[in-house]
Amino acid sequence: QTGTVAANPEQYDQAYICPVTIGSQTLHLDFDTGSSDLWVFSNLMPSSEVDGQTEFNTNSAGATKKDGYTWSISYGDGSGASGVVYADTVNVGGATATSQAVEAATSVSSEFTSDTGSDGLLGLAFSSINQVKPTPQTTFFDTVKSSLEAELFTADLQSNGPGSYTFGYIDSSKYTGSITYTAVDNSQGFWGFTAGGYTVGGGGSNSTGTIGSAIADTGTSLMYLPTAAVQSYYSQVSGSSYSSSQGGYIFPCSASLPSLTVSIGGHGFVVPGSNFNYSPTGSGNTCFGGLQENTGIGFTIFGDVFLRAVYAIFDETQGSPRIGFAAQ
Ligand SMILES: N#Cc1c(N)n[nH]c1N1CCCC1
């Protein structure tokens, strides 16, 4: 089988939300290659924590409670959720898991309550970091992958308009040139890979170092690189500065932003300058940068700012996982 689903950006491309059918309900979930739990708003939650989101009905005929199973997850941004576990049919654009662990929230943090466009998350990292106790559950991809035409999924994220995820096949209309594959280190449960040198702007190679280990994370809005690369980038953005009050680099919204070329698997991938204007700060006609330092996170994250510039293939067809990137 295969699946194809639209990936709809929230405001400022903050996250990408996809329709998922669970039993007879359709919920809109944040597809996240940086985490491994499929969790949903549910009828078990206090109404004070729900602001218009669709609630998974745990009393529906097709939902089977997994007695004694619970989950609790917290994300790097301080948000979190917890609850109990059901099994139900989950259909993503035609790819169907007949018995998928659906983690029904009994409580969510305020960040999720106020994210009115999202009814929950669909994790696409590795099942080794699923947070269900006493037994971790498989991700949707792990549940269905043996039934897919090919054991892979792809992400085509767009700015300000629908992109798509596919399951089981590569859509050759989504990219130009060839796909460059590189090995994945999933020892931390993420789609980890090694990135090489970088060049700021179209000029000569002013890559002053290599980026090193990184993860591909659709659930992170921005791109977080080592300090040296970030300082090198903003040294070429006139009027830019680090704002402790905003918590990152900002610049005049009128600034001209250079591109950033990153070498992966020996191929240079160009992120256009426009990708690095994330959002207005709300003060002084300054804008918040889509590229920020990875200090404090502990690893380098190629989030949506980077992923919008490529077609990404999350591939387990070779036995060992690999990730592919192509220009789009
Ligand atoms: N922080 C964080 C984070 C991440 N690195 N990947 N996905 C994340 N979230 C998904 C929903 C909230 C945060």
Is 217 known to be catalytic? yes
Instruction: Give residue 296's pLDDT.
Output: 86
| pLDDT reading at 208 higher than 80 | no
Judged against a pLDDT cut of 90, whether residue 203 lies above it is answered with: no
Pocket of ligand 1 (CB under 6 A): 30, 32, 34-35, 75-77, 79, 121, 217, 219-220
- Give me the pLDDT at residue 209, please: 81
Q: What is the pLDDT of residues 57-71, one digit of tens each?
A: 999 999 999 999 999
**Alpha carbon nearest to ligand 1 atom 8, residue:** 219
Q: Which pLDDT value is given to residue 204?
A: 61
pLDDT band at 185 (very low <50, low <70, confident <90, very high): very high
Question: How far, in Å, is the centroid of ligand 1 from the Cα of 303?
Answer: 10
pLDDT bucket at 206, cuts 50 / 70 / 90:
low
C-alpha of residue 322 to centroid of ligand 1, in Å: 22
Q: Does this complex have an ipTM over 0.85?
A: yes
Q: What one-character DSSP code corresponds to residue 13?
A: G
CA dist list (Å): 19 to 4, 43, 160: 10, 19, 17
Substitution site in 75, 119, 129, 157 for ligand 1 pocket (most atoms within 8 Å of beta carbon): 75
Residue type, 126: F
Asked whether the whole model's pTM tops 0.95, one would answer yes
- Determine which residue's CA is closest to atom 10 belonging to ligand 1: 219
User: Does the annotation count 156 as an active-site position?
Assistant: no
Q: What percent of the chain has pLDDT over 90?
A: 97
pLDDT surpassing 60 at residue 205: no
End-to-end CA distance of the chain: 25
pLDDT in tens, 31-87: 999 999 999 999 999 999 999 999 999 999 999 999 999 999 999 999 999 999 999
Rounded to the nearest integer, the mean pLDDT of the chain is 97
Residue 177 CA to ligand 1 center (angstroms) comes to: 31
Residue 12, token pair as written in the block? 């400022």
Buried b (16+ CB within 10 A) or exposed e, 8-45: bbeebbbbbbbbbbbbebebbbbbbbbbbbbbbbbebb
Residues 268-314 pLDDT 10s: 999 999 999 999 999 999 999 999 999 989 889 999 999 999 999 99
Write down the catalytic residue from 32, 37, 142, 315.
32
The alpha carbon of 39 and the centre of ligand 1 are apart by a number of angstroms equal to 13
Average pLDDT over residues 223-244: 97
Residue 1: predicted pLDDT: 98
